[in-house]
Amino acid sequence: MERREFLKYMGASSVVLGLTSNLWAGGSKRCKEEVCREAWTKLCDYRIKEAAYAYVHPQKRLPNVFLYGDSISIGYTLKVREQLQGKANVFRTYRNGGATQNFIPGMEKMKKAMFQPYLKNGWDFKWDVIHFNVGLHDLKYMSKGKLDKENGKQVSSIEGYKEKLDEICTYLMKEFPTATLIFATTTPVPQGAAGRLAGDSVKYNKAALDVLAKYPSIMINDLYAFTKPNFNEWCIEPGNVHYNETGKKAQGKEVARIIAENLYN
C-alpha cells in the first residue's frame, strides 16, 4: 500500500474508531442512568408514582442535596427542587422517614441500593448538603398499628428521642464528613391532632436542641418557628399536622433558601 493510500486508510479508520468510542461512551452513560433508575424504582416501590419520588439523575457540575424527613418533607420536596433548579441536584429519601429508629437503617439501605460499590455502575458522588428532620413520628401515640393518644404508647420518650438523635448526628458526621448538615425543627402539633398531643413539638424540639448543642457544626433550620404563625392558614384542616399547597410551597421556599445559602460552604 502506497504512503498516500495508507494515510487515507488510517484517517478513515480513526474516524470510525472515534465514532465507535463516542457511541460506546454514550451507551455507557445511558446504561448507568438506566441501572440507577431501575434500582431507584425498585427501592421506592409503590411510592414511585408520587412526584416527590421521581428519579433524579445527578448532573456532575451541580452540588448534591439530600432531604430526609417524614410526610412534611414529602410535601415540600417539589418546591425545593423547583427553587434550586440549575443550582443543585435535589434528592430525597426513598420513603417517609418516620421516627428516629428508622433513620440509620434507612440511610444504610439507600446506600447499598443506589451507591457504588454495592450497585455496579451506581451513584458515585458525595452529599454536599443533608437537610434532615425526625420528631413528628417519635412523639405520636400508637396502639395496634393505629394512632391512638388515649390508649396508645408514645413511639419515643423524650430521653429515647435524644438518645437516637445523638446516634444520628454521630452517624452523619462520621459517614459524611464533608457534607453541610442542617437539622429542621419539627413543625407544630395542633389541638385535636390524631394520635398526637398539642405542644409536644415544642418539647421534642427543645430536646433536639439540647442534643445538637453537642454538634455546633450542624445548622438549625427552625421550621417550627417559621410555620407556627401561619399554621391556621397553611394547615389542611383544623387538627391536622399536614399542610395545604400554600403551606407546602412556603416551607419549600424556606428550606431551599437555607440550603442555597450553604451550597458552597
The answer to whether residue 231 is domain-embedded is yes
The per-residue pLDDT for range 199-252, each reduced to its tens digit, is 999 999 999 999 999 999 999 999 999 999 999 999 999 999 999 999 999 999
The answer to whether residue 36 is domain-embedded is no
The answer to whether residue 184 is domain-embedded is yes
The contacts of residue 245 (CB under 8 Å, 6+ apart) are none
The answer to whether residue 16 is domain-embedded is no
- The average pLDDT across 108-113 equals 98
The answer to whether residue 60 is domain-embedded is yes
How far, in Å, CA of 119 to CA of 229, rounded? Answer: 45
The per-residue pLDDT for range 157-172, each reduced to its tens digit, is 999 999 999 999 999 9
The answer to whether residue 161 is domain-embedded is yes
Q: Is the pLDDT of residue 29 over 70?
A: no
The answer to whether residue 91 is domain-embedded is yes
pLDDT recorded at residue 31: 81
pLDDT recorded at residue 12: 45
Number of domains in the chain: 1
Domain that holds residue 195: 51-261
- 207, 158 in Cβ contact below 8 A? yes
pTM: 0.88
The answer to whether residue 107 is domain-embedded is yes
Residue whose C-alpha is closest to residue 102's, from 78, 138, 71, 143: 138
**CATH code for the domain in which residue 187 is found:** 3.40.50.1110
In sequence order, what E strands does 105-189 have? 129-132, 141-143, 146-147, 153-154, 180-184
- 260, 244 in Cβ contact below 8 A? no
The per-residue pLDDT for range 61-96, each reduced to its tens digit, is 999 999 999 999 999 999 999 999 999 999 999 999
Q: Is the pLDDT of residue 18 over 80?
A: no
